[in-house]
Amino acid sequence: MAEIRIEHLRKEFGAFSAVEDSSFVVRDGEFLALLGPSGCGKTTTLRMIAGLELPTSGKIFLAGGDVTFNRARERDIAFVFQLFALYPHMNVRKNIGFPLLAQGIAKAEIRARVEETARLLQIDHILDRSVSGLAGGDRQRVALGRAIVRRPKCFLMDEPLGTLDTEFRDLMVRELRELHNRIHATTVYVTHDQLEAMAMADKIAVMNHGVIEQFGTPQEIYNRPATMFVADFIGSPPMNFLRFTAGLQRGARTVSVEGVPVAVPEIHDDVAMGEIALGVRPEDIRFSDASPLRGVVYGSEYHGTNQIVAVEMAKGLIKARVPADQNFRIGDTVGLELNHHNLSLFECTSGRAVRSSRHTQVQHG
């Protein structure tokens, strides 16, 4: 297996810039999710790594070698678009072995590698069955088998679970991660679904308008978002923003929100007067009668183990995740206590996180 290194990769289509100055490393055996909304440049990035699209500028290294101008078939990469595309007239064995047959590999070796792959995917008992009669999960495993039987240096997957219903999708998310734990293949996986990315990936690159806004572990991205876009894109419900106008001083440990002093992690930047957003995750808000930060309950959604409560503040709605047995009525005034260890601050004009004792390790794109 192999490391993928991307350096200052750009792709322009005429005057339109689809990918802007992307740099990142996927270490040997790591699973990277390229995550972002439709049109942000995920597929274009993946196609450049695969050799299906030439970059406008920048470099791509695979296992230490510069492959920027190599053809797709010279890169030893398996590109999985759609895991259900099987040959319906062939049985499981022939479907899995097909890429090896196409490479002219000897029959005995094909047989051995197909059987080894089938054992890995736990489908060795159905090798001689026709694929047309298989259930969805087994079809998907056959398609995966066809990708891994070649033992490529890495896997590139473009929304492979895109068309599946939720239940089956959750099952395949678990299976893909388990497969990854067994074969440790360097993988780049494109998705617009934050839950898929969080559940499967070792690292996530969050993209927006062709730019990688943040590259980090799921924990870093969730807990220390580098930008307001990342904070808003990750999490369900997303991070709340309490906006206020202020200048911030290095060393400060409180800010004033809606006229109430709120403790925050120590600020490490001086920020000129302007609009600031205090970012707080719904689970970091607690109802407390003693808190002077107050709002009015607007509505709630019951989720069994907890409830999401919308609270109207002076400058808009925020959502709190509170215990399911907490009692209140719509229209009640509640006090809100914020978990000051987990708060983020953002400059609204640039959207960037203000550095603080919590954010010092954040990388910007």
Size of the site for ligand ATP (CB under 6 A): 12
Asked if residue 55 binds ligand ATP (CB under 6 A), the reply is: no
CB nearer to ligand ATP: pick between 21 and 312 = 21
Going by C-beta distance under 8 Å and a sequence separation of 6 or more, which residues neighbour residue 311?
295, 296, 297, 298, 317, 318, 319, 320, 334, 336
CB of 108: closest distance to ligand ATP in angstroms? 41
CB of 44: closest distance to ligand ATP in angstroms? 3
CB of 81: closest distance to ligand ATP in angstroms? 11
Asked if residue 208 binds ligand ATP (CB under 6 A), the reply is: no
CB nearer to ligand ATP: pick between 57 and 103 = 57
CB nearer to ligand ATP: pick between 16 and 181 = 16
Tell me the helix, strand and coil percentages in the chain, rounded to 5: 25, 35, 35
Asked if residue 18 binds ligand ATP (CB under 6 A), the reply is: yes
CB nearer to ligand ATP: pick between 82 and 103 = 82
CB nearer to ligand ATP: pick between 150 and 209 = 209
Q: How far apart are CA 97 and CA 10, in angstroms?
A: 36
Least Cα distance to 24 among 164, 212, 177, 202 occurs for: 212
Draw the binding track, 19-48, toward ligand ATP (x: CB under 6 A; -: no contact). Answer: -----------------x-xxxxxxx----
Applying CB under 6 A, the span of 11-19, 118-126, 174-182, 219-227 interacting with ligand ATP comes to: 11-19
CB of 60: closest distance to ligand ATP in angstroms? 16
Coil vs helix vs strand at 200: helix
The separation between the first and the last C-alpha atoms of the chain, rounded to the nearest angstrom, is 26
Q: How far apart are CA 158 and CA 326, in angstroms?
A: 43
Restricted to residues 153-192, the positions that interact with ligand ATP (CB under 6 A) are 192
CB nearer to ligand ATP: pick between 43 and 356 = 43
Q: How far apart are CA 238 and CA 248, in angstroms?
A: 25
Residue pair 222/198 in contact by the 8 Å Cβ criterion: yes
Q: How far apart are CA 108 and CA 100, in angstroms?
A: 11
> Could you tell me the maximum CA-CA distance found in the chain, to the nearest angstrom?
77
CB of 47: closest distance to ligand ATP in angstroms? 8
CB nearer to ligand ATP: pick between 117 and 208 = 208
Q: How far apart are CA 228 and CA 247, in angstroms?
A: 18
Residues interacting with ligand ATP, by CB under 6 A?
Answer: 13, 16, 18, 36, 38-44, 192
